[in-house]
Structure 1
Amino acid sequence: MHARLILFFLLLIAPWRLVSAHDDSLLARGKYLMESVVACANCHATPDSNREGAFTNNLGGGRVFDEPPFRAVAPNITPDAQTGIGRWTDAQIGKAIRDGVRPDGSIIGPPMPIGFYRNISDADLAAIIVYLRARPPVHHVVEASTYHVPLPPNYGAPMEHVAATSTRDTVHYGEYLANIGHCMECHTPRGDHGQLITAHLGAGGQVFNGAWGTSVSRNLTPDESGLKRWTDAQIAKAIRGESREGMHYKPPMAYAWYRNIKDSDMRALIAYLRSLKPQPFAGQR
């Protein structure tokens, strides 16, 4: 009888233990992604009222991207019920991230890289949502973004299911990481209407102005003007924020987060970059 009671008790708590372990695993994965390759806080930061030009990486939003086509303001994505996403369901958060559609049906515009986030696997999307739910709520009212160009009616059919990418296929997994890290959003030239010229994927040349001055995205393809003569160690060092000469690169690249990319993922990213079609640098020299 005593053994049966113990077994009954274990059966009662086993589902809870499994769910708890599952949630812990998702949170760990979400923390890794958000604090490394995905780096949402690089944009969804809050201006620091005590330091001009500085930001608090709390996901409370408020960072302004003032460009000719738009004045976009990063929203508050903390679980604050009034000013953040605290009242959104998991499905609504997932749809916003992967489909670019808010709960009210409105379309999320640039610079949110929805075209790349559509590649986020179901498992990693769930992990990111668990991480967002676990963040401290920040009560921060953020102004609405304004666009001077029409937004698309949608970014394609709703993403119902995205399977996980096997880490055994190093190049394919590296492409997956580059997609969810939206590397090519900045390292691909744009046309006259702001569209990415995917025929020159990775050729760089975009110009970014900010408090740091001017940055130009580098050619990431294995061309002479790109990474052909770079070693893997030099590429890894650059992604983490330091040039071959030992100088620190300027923003807007999310070096503070990319330095947390684990070595195995870095090797996959580099393998993918080396697989790109060589392209001449797309910007002015």
Structure 2
Amino acid sequence: MLGRQTVLGGLAVAAMVAGTAGAAAQTAVERGAYLVNTVMTCHNCHTPMGANGPDLGRAFSGGTPVFDTPAFRVRGSNITPDKQNGIGTWSEAEIETALRRGVRPNGVPLAPPMPTGFYGVLTPADGKAIAVYLKSLKASPNKVEAPVYNAPFEREVLPGANKPADPASFSDKVKLGEYLVTIGHCMECHTPRIDGKLDVSAIGAGRQEFAGPWGTSIARNITSHPQKGLAAWSDDEIKRAITQGVSRDGAKLKPPMGYGFYARMTPGDLDAMVAYLRTLPPRE
């Protein structure tokens, strides 16, 4: 989160992912690799964690605990193309449907906190690129326990994320930034919750708390509020916080925000994200 104090040393930058940067002149696999391994931070849930962060030797093989509560017990799925324990039998279209609608090929809903309610905005080309990339991964036979739901849940759809974005609009830096922030599901953490549901009247206002080995981090207000938000931060200060986990005052920031993943984003994409964040209405 853009909170305070120490950052977990695990999400180191350099060896985080094998992907290419930049959207121009990329193959579908390269574009999918870029999205999955940077802004969408899929390693956070789908790659087992080692002592220094995601264990890339077991990339996307699943098993990472994402929920351990009386209501839900969920582990990140194996999303490699293993036919027995991964998604090897899924077609590209079925992968896209799972992303956009939150439903597996067998009709079973995907467990929270998989942010499918943000992924409906994926452009047709990007949705396909992600599916193509996942199908290209090395298969892992790792078997992940099935999720346990002891309570009902509603799939949360971020307003405006229910239909694919128009890539022609991305010549507008703010529109591109809005798209990246949405598929990066930033507001899943940086929006307060009321009775467990996102308070869409306060998008970007932060305040959610996240406990982990780092202690407790509090999601920062990333609206344009002059005191409590980012209005007083320079563009470079915002980008440093996103990619290096360093606050405006030089303090180290805490996970679970994936600084190391964001550090591999292109400069143009980072500029666009900042441009969009500048447009968020100030909220307390």
TM-score above 0.5: yes
* TM-score with structure 2 setting the length: 0.83
Residue matched to 1:171: 174
Amino acid at match of 1:103: P
Stretch deviating more after TM superposition (145-154 or 223-232): 145-154
> Which residue of the partner structure matches residue 255 of structure 2?
251
The within-5 A match list for 1:213-224 is: 213-223=215-225, 224=227
Shift of residue 249, structure 1, vs aligned partner = 2.1
Residue 283 of structure 2 aligns with which residue? Answer: 279
What RMSD in Å do the two structures reach over aligned CA positions? 2.3
Aligned residues: 253
Report whether the alignment pairs 1:56 with 2:55. Answer: yes
The alpha carbon displacement at 1:154 in A equals 9.5
CA distance in 1, matches of 2:214, 2:168: 36
Aligned residues of 2:118 and 2:157 also touching (Cα < 8 A): no
Which sits farther off after the overlay, 260-269 or 241-250? Answer: 241-250
Q: Is the 8 A contact 2:92 2:131 kept in 1?
A: yes
Matching residue within 26, 29, 40 for 1:27: 29
Structure-1 residue corresponding to 2:246: 242
Residue of structure 2 aligned with 1:260, choices 264, 267, 284: 264
Per-residue deviation at 1:54? 5.1
Give 2:146's match in structure 1, choosing from 144, 147, 155.
144
For the structure 1 residues 79 and 238, does the alpha-carbon distance in structure 2 shift closer, same or farther, using more than 3 Å as the test?
Answer: same
Q: Helix, strand or coil: the match of 1:71?
A: strand
After superposition, where does 1:66-215 map in structure 2 within 5 Å? 66-67=68-69, 69-152=71-154, 163-164=166-167, 166-192=169-195, 194-215=196-217
Could you tell me which runs of 5 or more consecutive residues in structure 1 were left unpaired when the two chains were aligned: 1-22, 281-285
Instruction: Report the CA distance between 1:272 and its aligned residue.
Output: 0.8
Which residue of structure 1 lines up, in the alignment, with residue 230 of structure 2? 227
1:38 is displaced (CA, Å) by: 1.1
Distance 1:154 1:105 in 2: 18
Render the CA deviation track for 1:70-119: whole Å, top value 9, x for unaligned: 22211000111111001111111111111100011011121011111111
Shift of 1:47: 4.2
Structure 2 portions without partners, runs of 5+? 1-24
Give the whole-Å Cα distance in 1 for the aligned partners of 2:200 and 2:163. 25
Give the drift of 1:149: 2.3
Name the CA distance, whole Å, in 1 between partners of 2:155 and 2:248.
43
Larger Rg: 1
